[in-house]
Chains A and B, each alone.
Chain A
């Protein structure tokens, strides 16, 4: 049981996964609290940037972030664990279009259309498509008639499904998971293009996490698949298990970041 009155462990959650499942999050939080022997709080914010700021201010111990902010902030963030999806710590960025658009196969065919990004700090939902456009010597602002952020991968799928946008960039893992849970939504979209694999959004620790807490948390995550409750949560997350990761996993993201002129701060 969690120690009553003890300082809670605060974990920042972002829409790198389907963070709108409130019931699921509550159950997972209780699971972690029991394993840690301390209360656990999940902190959710509208954008990655807000979570990163909270962590910078020591208001979060851990966060599940995209590889892109991790790469940018890796001077003070430590890699805690990386989820394995389909056996590998990798995922892709998907270019999705409305299902009735059967022609588009690359983002460069969407000139002067309306485009939906997920989050300006998302690798799959912004960095990768921007990188592709920069390789074509253009930028989202010049290339599209209009682009906007939904601050959630799931909402990018909605924007494209409802045809508010003619195309969108989305986390492939989120799209695949949605295809299992909400096929009526993903059915109205079509994956037009898939990126090369990138490092899966990792769990990171901030300066506020003590080495003991870091180690304890890491042990819990890495062992989650070994007990029935933990395996159940992983199944719901559409993940295999958590593994130790290395910064090298995110080298491609760093390379793209440099290429579009936004080197790590």
Chain B
């Protein structure tokens, strides 16, 4: 469900402007109409009162002479179409408030007491009782207007004339007014709305542009000049400048980061190169020593020659080990991983655990063969468990959980041995970051390379008493398998 607050300013501002214009026009028109209606009503009552005064004069003689028919003819002429402009009925009452004659004899029969002729008549009767003076009075009862005019002859009251106006006359005049006012308002709205829509959109445009630019941050940083705004002093200008400043700073930060990453990489390469040099240099020293000794003493000593050869061989083998460990071949042919492979690792490592008198908890929940290269996965698992066994004290525990999740295969290896300091965590997966035991430190680097090759992810958490390595390997990744096995 789209809510108003979710709508773009591109529409929201014009919509608000439209509502504002519409409400303004409506209120203005309504107030003008109301005034017009009051004026119309007042004019009508004024006109009616003047006309009543004239009419009442002509009724003096007939009423004085008790000429009922003449009086009737006068009031009838006054209410006939074209005669009296608005009166719908005229009723004459005598001083005792009985009907003298009416143009509506069905409602007001001759000589009937006025107050008995309905609600309105009763109100009029009580009003006449309170009236004095020769002026007309008007009163609105229900949807009708009444103008009451005394008929006096030489100071003697002969009766009253009651003019009845139905509101239909007013209503039809007012309806005409209303219609024309509405049409004019609509016409004005028709003129104003496109303008307000245009201005509203113009006002929203910079906001929308700003939002677009800011929305891109995260994925990219808009290049310089992508953000366009009017260089004004209003809020939009201020926001525009602030955002531009923010972009500049972001770009600067990005540059710095890139530089830092580069120098860090250089440092890593330096460390790697140093490590390799060190690993190769050590046997080289021994081997050169052995060759020197052989030259000095051993040309005739076949035993020394044999010892020297053996020493050289061991030295070269060590170098070959180091070099081959650096060449991780992720794409080496392999068969799919089966639960048996994991169990093999378990059997393989049991003696190691026994040697350290550590407890190895093994929990494998692989249901069946899964499309992952068995050799590589086994190597990862062996490396991690061996590291863990290395870390635990005697009687410590190493736990291994292998299972399947929605994302793929998971391996979690925990130990309660020595924890890894935070300073080392950052470089943990680099080669030759040896631990205090002086191991060459390629195990975790190789593990990291394999996991990355397989499109997976490795993470480590360490605190005193608990170190956890977790590996996620997706199953979808196509790996060359089977073909070679």
Which residues does A use to contact B, with CB under 8 Å?
114, 116, 145-146, 148-151, 155, 159, 162-164
Contacts and interface: CB of A to CB of B under 8 A. Distances in A.
B111 A145 contact: yes
5 tightest CB-CB pairs across the interface, nearest first? A148-B68, A150-B69, A114-B110, A164-B105, A163-B105
B14 to A, nearest CB: 64
Number of chain B interface residues as a range: 10 to 19
Contacts of A148: 67-69
B106 interface: yes
Contacts of B69: 116, 148-151, 155, 159
Nearest to A118: B69
Contacts of B109: 114
Contacts of B101: 164
Given A146-B110, A148-B67, 4 more contacts: A116-B69, A148-B68, A149-B67, A159-B69
Interface of B: 67-69, 72-73, 76, 101, 105-106, 109-111
Contacts of A164: 72, 101, 105, 110
Contacts, number: 28
A116 B105 CA distance: 14
Interface centre among A148, A150, A164 (most CB of B within 10 A): A164
A164 B106 CA distance: 8
22 contacts: A114-B109, A114-B110, A114-B111, A145-B110, A145-B111, A146-B68, A146-B110, A146-B111, A148-B67, A148-B68, A148-B69, A149-B69, A150-B69, A155-B69, A155-B73, A159-B69, A159-B72, A162-B105, A163-B105, A163-B106, A164-B72, A164-B105
Contacts of B110: 114, 145-146, 164
A159 B69 CA distance: 8
A159 B111 CA distance: 16
Contacts of B72: 159, 164
**Which of B69, B72, B76, B105 has its CB near the most chain A CB atoms (within 10 A)?**
B69
A146 B106 CA distance: 16
Contacts of A149: 67, 69
A118 to B, nearest CB: 10
A184 to B, nearest CB: 15
Contacts of B106: 163
Contacts of B105: 162-164
Contacts of B67: 148-149
Contacts of A146: 68, 110-111
